[in-house]
Amino acid sequence: MTSSPTAPAPAPSTLGAPRGLPLAPVLFILGSCFSLQFGAALATQLFPAIGSFGTTTLRLGLAAIVLLVIVRPRPLRLNRSQWRSILAFGVVIGAMNGSFYAAIERIPLGTAVAIEFLGPLVVSAALSTRRMDYLWVLLAVGGVGLFGLEPLLGAAELDPIGVLFALVAAVFWGLYVLTSAKVGQTVPGQDGLALGLAIGALTVLPLGAPGALTGLLDLRLLALAVGTAVLASVLPYTLELAALRRLPRHVFGILLSLEPVIALAAGLLLLGQQATPLRLAAALLVVAASAGVTITGRAAPPDTAQPVDEPPGWDLPTPTHATVTSEIPVLTEEDLHGET
């Protein structure tokens, strides 16, 4: 999602560089995490007026328009198999975002993000042959379980419908890892992402059309929606793509594992939500589990960044915080179909 997404300018390689990490891509990832979560916090300001699904429809629709203009995909050149991959990817985008926004309409942002992280962690364990990955998932489940202690201790109440939506979002985040990897493998450039966002917007349109129409007719609401689309979609994807080309994958994944804590901070600073000791402990356990999967996962050599000029046939996975958080590379047909 840079100015020339299909042919990015070569970036300095970290091979042969000093031991210290390059500062710019690290800042890109941290900026992406903050942008994504602060964008979600901004989205909650729209919920009273247009609802969570109206907000989702506007966010995805506006982000899709921006990317379609920048990327200028050529849909007529795609074959039937590529379109199937993009359609699945787009439906998952819509369902994931819609259920996540429905969750943060009802429960704290940090809680929803921590629960949603179970999705990519479970996918990572399912595709792994190492028992250690199952231990990381159990650690994350234990962390999420801490959220359930607050109602039992009388410290806070969690809306069960909100928790259910967060779990649904986790399922679709797991599917997002698989579908985005498939699109990244089979669709050239960023055409799949641009078209997928458009399909995602159409997926939630039946539920979000009334709210989205209200938002389009109100300049204040429309401005908030544009800000949400930029902060929660366009900017994070752009920063992550730039960082993914310059950082080792394991570093990329570890930095993205900080998202539950950043979500707690966004909820605290922007929404006045409490960061209780139990919520902080739960978020830290999920962060530790995600970082653990990344550190022990099947990764590129620790000193190797994602190359910019690989031979033909190699392509980046669709750049998102979900795809590489659990250190899953571009999946092969054997991975996707469970073959050995």
128 vs 295: CA distance, rounded Å:
14
Amino acid type, 66: V
Given a cut of 70, whether residue 305 has pLDDT beyond it is no
Say if residues 20 and 62 touch (Cβ distance below 8 Å): no
Among 67-81, 143-157, 202-216, 295-309, the minimum mean pLDDT is found in 295-309
Average pLDDT score over residue span 65-83: 88
Q: In sequence order, which residues have a C-beta less than 8 Å from that of residue 320 and are 6 or more positions away?
A: 176, 180, 236, 237, 240
Residue 108, helix vs strand vs coil: coil
301 vs 311: CA distance, rounded Å:
18
Q: How far apart are the first and last CA of the chain?
A: 34
The whole-number pLDDT of residue 152 equals 62
Among 50-54, 74-78, 293-297, the minimum mean pLDDT is found in 293-297
Burial class (CB in 10 A: 0-12, 13-18, 19+), 28: buried
Given a cut of 70, whether residue 335 has pLDDT beyond it is no
Give the closest residue to 100 by CA, choosing from 183, 198, 181, 174. Answer: 174
Structure tokens at 314: 């190699």
pLDDT band for position 220 (cuts 50, 70, 90): very high
Average pLDDT score over residue span 45-50: 93
| Better-scored residue on pLDDT, 94 or 246 | 94
| Better-scored residue on pLDDT, 309 or 245 | 245
DSSP string covering 162-175, please? HHHHHHHHHHHHHH
Among 36-40, 96-100, 171-175, 245-249, the minimum mean pLDDT is found in 245-249
Q: Mean pLDDT over all residues of the chain?
A: 75
54 vs 45: CA distance, rounded Å:
12
Say if residues 90 and 200 touch (Cβ distance below 8 Å): yes
CA 59 to chain centre: 14
The whole-number pLDDT of residue 54 equals 95
Given a cut of 70, whether residue 332 has pLDDT beyond it is no
Tens digit of each residue's pLDDT (9 = 90 or more) over 242-271: 776 676 665 666 677 777 888 888 888 878
Give the closest residue to 319 by CA, choosing from 200, 235, 226, 206. Answer: 235
37 vs 34: CA distance, rounded Å:
5
The whole-number pLDDT of residue 199 equals 95
CA distances from 19 to 13, 28, 29, 249 (A): 13, 19, 19, 16
Given a cut of 60, whether residue 217 has pLDDT beyond it is yes
173 vs 205: CA distance, rounded Å:
20
- CA-angle at 285, arms to 97 and 118, nearest 5°: 35
238 vs 192: CA distance, rounded Å:
15
